[in-house]
Amino acid sequence: MSSEPTSAPSRVDPRAVVAIAALAVGGFAIGTTEFVTMGVLPDIADGVGVSIPEAGHIVSFYALGVVVGAPIIAALSARLPRRALLVALMAAFLVGNAASALAPGFATLSLARFVSGLPHGAFFGVASLVAASLVSPRLRGRAVSSVLLGLSVAMVAGVPLATWLGQQVGWRAAYWLVVVLAALTMAAVLAVVPHSPGNADATVRGELDALRRPQVLLTLLVGIVGFGGMFALYSYIAPVATDVAGFARGTVPWVLLAYGVGGLVGTALGGRLADLALFRSLVGSIVVLGVLLALVALTSPWKPALFVGVFLVSVAASCLAICLQLRLMETAGEAQMLGAALNHSALNLANALGAWLGGLVIAAGLGYRAPSVVGAGLAAAGLVPLAVSAVLRRRWHQEAAVRQREELVALR
């Protein structure tokens, strides 16, 4: 991973732990707003006078905001002081969610959700760099995973709370809760995150040049295709639980809770594995994800197996997400912020790809176990760009070793 201008302490300072926790609060807010829409979708549909399928498009508008906003904002803002940038991004996020809560109709709500998604990837990109700069290089994986842990905690606590609030008080209350979380994040970042300068030498062209790096493009492709396997299952987890495993509808939240807990475990584990051996952990996590998705397809009619399978799939997928984030930061050169932000664009494209392909096989009459088979296939397909990446990586290391030997000979 390229060195940052900020010096990193050799041990974890308690102030660094507090600062990373403040960044994780932002992840919690973003994770809550990203997924709560699904929980209150029928209420939103009634509130703005559209059908549930039409209301579902606002989920896509948010994802589109993430995909568009991450590279553009990261490229334009690389020179800005990072603490101030974090506050500005969270302020934009607050405005987007306030506009969502106030939206009078479907068109304005769709626009507000798009605006809410714009800062998503850039915030995680900046927060990941700040967190990594606060610890020694051997702990960077754990620091970055701690920031992303906010997303996993949101799945377990934030989304259920916001969904309950939206169902009890009205769907707009769910977005007002996110507004409060965004305001708390801004205050916490200002209070405990140390000043961190931007990259004074950065240019928009230089940042976007990262997209010309083969390793960056290959890693993005691994994320879009390989991580799409998880979304092929997750998008249809409710009918898998009810129609395949035979659970009552009231059990679905417990299946989702198993997924959320798996995310917590996987995010923490992924940071540690990445610190030990990043590339091997990336390969291992996608292989394990593919195997687990195939096992879910085989065993999901057995109720206990579905719970265990969903939990383990979430663990593997979360490990993969962390490894992808760190791999992009490693391969993006001086454009680390763009690399970290692009991961979230890739994962949102993976969401769209997995859900679309899963829907195709269901529409073809292959049943609700078929998306897990598709997911296993996507994970396997993700190994193709990863294999190309491994070949290029090995060649680079060999060339670097030759250059080093030549330099030693020249010195003699």
Q: Do residues 145 and 322 make contact, with C-beta atoms less than 8 angstroms apart?
A: yes
Question: What tens digit of pLDDT does each residue of 25-35 get?
Answer: 999 999 999 87
Query: What is d(CA 76, CA 359) in angstroms, rounded to the nearest whole number?
Result: 37
pLDDT band at 172 (very low <50, low <70, confident <90, very high): very high
Q: How many residues does the chain have?
A: 412
Question: What tens digit of pLDDT does each residue of 194-239 get?
Answer: 988 877 776 777 777 777 889 999 999 999 999 988 888 887 887 8
Cβ within 8 Å of residue 88, ≥6 positions away: none
Mean pLDDT of 148-175: 87
Mean pLDDT of 405-412: 64
Examine the pLDDT at 407 and tell me if it is beyond 70. Answer: no
Query: What is d(CA 34, CA 93) in angstroms, rounded to the nearest whole number?
Result: 11
Query: What is d(CA 238, CA 209) in angstroms, rounded to the nearest whole number?
Result: 42
Question: What tens digit of pLDDT does each residue of 242-275 get?
Answer: 889 988 877 877 888 888 899 999 998 998 999 9
Long-range residue pairs from 305-310, CB within 8 A, at least 24 positions apart, any chain: 306/240, 306/241, 306/244, 306/245, 306/247, 306/255, 307/254, 307/255, 307/258, 310/233, 310/237, 310/255, 310/258, 310/259, 310/262
137 to 33, 93, 272, 331, 393: CA distances (angstroms): 32, 30, 12, 16, 20
Question: Out of 47-61, 138-152, 369-383, which region has the weakest mean confidence (pLDDT)?
Answer: 47-61
Query: What is d(CA 336, CA 251) in angstroms, rounded to the nearest whole number?
Result: 42
Query: What is d(CA 223, CA 346) in angstroms, rounded to the nearest whole number?
Result: 6
Question: What tens digit of pLDDT does each residue of 328-362 get?
Answer: 888 887 777 788 788 888 988 898 888 888 888 88
Enumerate domains of the chain plus CATH numbers: 10-202 (1.20.1250.20), 210-412 (1.20.1250.20)
Model's pTM, two decimal places?
0.81
Question: What tens digit of pLDDT does each residue of 291-316 get?
Answer: 999 999 999 999 999 999 999 999 99
Query: What is d(CA 219, CA 324) in angstroms, rounded to the nearest whole number?
Result: 7
Examine the pLDDT at 186 and tell me if it is beyond 60. Answer: yes
Give all strands (DSSP E) within 163-279, no chain letters: none
pLDDT band at 409 (very low <50, low <70, confident <90, very high): low
pLDDT band at 2 (very low <50, low <70, confident <90, very high): very low
Q: Do residues 106 and 50 make contact, with C-beta atoms less than 8 angstroms apart?
A: yes
